[in-house]
Each structure stands twice: as structure tokens, then as C-alpha cells.
Amino acid sequence: MSYSIKNNWDGLASSLSKIWDLSVPKTAMVITDENIAPLYLADVHTVLANSTIWHIQHCIIPSGETAKNFNTYTNVLQAMYNAGLDRSSVVVALGGGIVSDVAGFAAATFMRGIDYINIPTTLLAMTDSAIGGKTGIDFLGEKNLIGAFHQPRLIYSNIAVLSSLPKNDYISGLAEVIKYGIIKDVALLEFLNENISKVLICDEATLLHIIKSSCDIKTEIVTQDEKDNDLRQILNFGHTFGHAIETLMDFKLPHGHCVSIGMVCALRYSVAKLNLPQDDADFVIDIIRKYGLPISSNLSPQQIYQQMKRDKKAQSGKLTIIATSKLGTAQIVKNPDEKGVIQCI
């Protein structure tokens, strides 16, 4: 798994050439969604067509979480089969987290697994979902019930695309960057605090720094615990609360916004139970607020707690939450006491 962060599409060719001999023919299928196709499919197609002698096919899936289903997955497999993909072929996932989940899962399972690359088009995907090889679809009403760990050969982020990302989606992605600061990198938190206006106008050098820092942290963690058995769980800081809020809000509040509220809950829990200094929690909550991310919801603590227990990460009804006793570090708290959790919501 390697990644490149550039401000154009041209760097894609040299990134690909580090992985494959581009003079060897192959079939590549670009999988994207109906929102991204009109924006960037032609650009990516042109770069691939000019830099390789690959036979390039497209498959466009519906957009949105509801598209992450068995039907879309089988349609993608059918398209791959019809296009004559074989074990030497490459899947190119162009889009946000939903595209990389579905396309990555299709790549993981087609002919027992073929290569894929991720070209993320959202800040959330560039900093989180495109990295680490989690692929899958929702099933029986449960998010990511079916899936596989399958590492992309390359993650190619063109930060120029972020200027066309809706503001709310961009802000949502910043929640994951703040999360990396909390669990691993106090300097990143300080950088986010000192460069708010530059981050908000998508200043190029600033974006490069925060995306690279996020990719480095996630790669380091995933390299140590690819299958999410232990250390990788710290990436879920704020997410146990956040997923519950996301479900209760019918996915109408963006993921990062829900995670922000969840991070505030996790910080409060950390102050109450792990002696995180209140000033440190306030420092982070202030950053969350300054970026326009929410710190609370109208849902009741009981509602959120009950939903958390239904979350797939609750094993045998027992919760796991991630907390911190010191900014820049994280702890996995298994089976936290109910009263303590409810009080911090």
C-alpha cells in the first residue's frame, strides 16, 4: 500500500509506473458513481489512456449509502465479467468511501482477488476510508456486514478536486483529521488550531500537510494491525457514539459531524474516567467548534446509549469505546460502565 498526494492528475501515471510495467497490456475498470463521473471520469480516463496501453472500461454506480448493497455489488461484478477482466486486471475506485467500499470489495472477491487502486475524491476518503483496505457492503440493514480486508496497491489523492467538494462534506472530513491529532499527534492539533483560515480556504500547502499527516498516522496503525483486532480500534475515537448518532439521524447528518459530537462525548468520558485534563479537552472542543463542526445533538443520552449497544462493535451487548488520558495517545476501553457513558453524552 503506497500513497501519492498531488495537486493534479498528471502524477497518476508516474505513481502507476512504480507498481506496474505500463507497457504490458491489461484491462482496467474505473468504478465511480453518478456524481463523480461527470466531474472527473474523463480526466482519469485520459491519464490512464495516455500513460498505459491498458484497455479501459467504466462502471458507474448510484451514489449514496443506500447504493452500498448486494445489488450494486453484483452489477459491478457483472460489468467486470462482461468487460473480460481477469486476474491480471486492475480496478480503479474513483470517488468517496462508498465507491471504494464497493469497488474494493468487488476487487477483493472477483476471481479470488485482483489488484485495485483508490482515487479518493473527498477529504474523508483521502484521510481515512481510502486507506487501510476495509471494503464491503451493507446487508440486512447493517453497515458493512459483508466485506473483506483487501489493500489497495495505490491511493492517489488529487487535492485540486477538494475545491469542488460541497463545503459541508469538506468540513465533515476535517473531523477525521482532528481525530488523528487526538489519538496520535498533538502537533497536528496545534497546526489545525493555528491554521484555521488556511484549512478552510483549502490552501494547498496546508492541505498537503494535514492529508499527509493523516495518511502517515493511519498507515502506521494499519500496518501494525491490519485486521482490526486491537490497535486499529483506536481509529474509532468518537465513532462508537458517532455511529449511533448517524443511525438515529437517518444518515442525514454527515459522518464527520456525527463523529465530532462523538469525539466530544469521548473527551468528556476521558476527563471523567481517565483524568484527561479539562483544559486539554476544552482545547480540542474549541478546535471542533472553530471548524464549524457540531459538539452536541438533540438526541437524548439514553437514545444514543441504546443505539451504541446495537452497534456491531458491541460484542455480546458489551461496548468498546476509545478514550484518551493524554492528548496524542488513545486507550481502548472495553465494557465501560453504563452510568459513566450516559453521563458524558
Footprint on this chain of ligand GLY (rule: CB under 6 A)? 128, 132, 134, 228, 232, 235
- DSSP labels for 39-62? IIIHHHHHHHHHH---EEEEEEE-
8 A C-beta contact, residue 92 and residue 48: yes
**Between 222 and 281, CB nearer to ligand GLY:** 222
Smallest distance, Å, CB 116 to ligand GLY?
Answer: 16
Smallest distance, Å, CB 175 to ligand GLY?
Answer: 12
Which residue of the chain is nearest ligand GLY when measured via CB? 235
**Between 207 and 235, CB nearer to ligand GLY:** 235
Smallest distance, Å, CB 54 to ligand GLY?
Answer: 29
**Between 43 and 228, CB nearer to ligand GLY:** 228
N-term to C-term CA, the chain:
37
**Between 204 and 228, CB nearer to ligand GLY:** 228
Residue 144, SS3?
Answer: strand
8 A C-beta contact, residue 174 and residue 199: yes
The three grid cell numbers given for residue 271, joined into one nine-digit string: 476527563
The distance between the two most distant Cα atoms of the chain, rounded to a whole number of Å, is 62
Q: Measured on CA atoms in the order 224, 239, 177, 170, is the torsion positive or negative?
A: positive
**Between 143 and 268, CB nearer to ligand GLY:** 143
Smallest distance, Å, CB 85 to ligand GLY?
Answer: 26
Distance in angstroms (rounded) separating the CA atoms of residues 289 and 81: 48
- Which of 237, 230, 264 lies closest to 321, judged by CA? 237
Smallest distance, Å, CB 218 to ligand GLY?
Answer: 7
Go through 43-74 and write b for each residue having 16 or more CB atoms within 10 A of its CB, e for each that does not: bbbebbeebbebebbbbbbebeeebbbeebbe
**Between 57 and 135, CB nearer to ligand GLY:** 135
Smallest distance, Å, CB 133 to ligand GLY?
Answer: 8
The three grid cell numbers given for residue 65, joined into one nine-digit string: 449509502
Q: In terms of residues, how long is the chain?
A: 345
Smallest distance, Å, CB 170 to ligand GLY?
Answer: 18
Q: For the CA atoms of the chain, what is the radius of gyration?
A: 20
**Between 132 and 269, CB nearer to ligand GLY:** 132
Strand partners, 304: none
Smallest distance, Å, CB 219 to ligand GLY?
Answer: 11
**Between 23 and 229, CB nearer to ligand GLY:** 229
Contacts with 42 (C-beta within 8 Å, 6 or more apart), sequence order: none
CB atoms under 10 Å from CB of 198, counted, come to 16
**Between 128 and 246, CB nearer to ligand GLY:** 128
The three grid cell numbers given for residue 77, joined into one nine-digit string: 461484478
Smallest distance, Å, CB 97 to ligand GLY?
Answer: 9
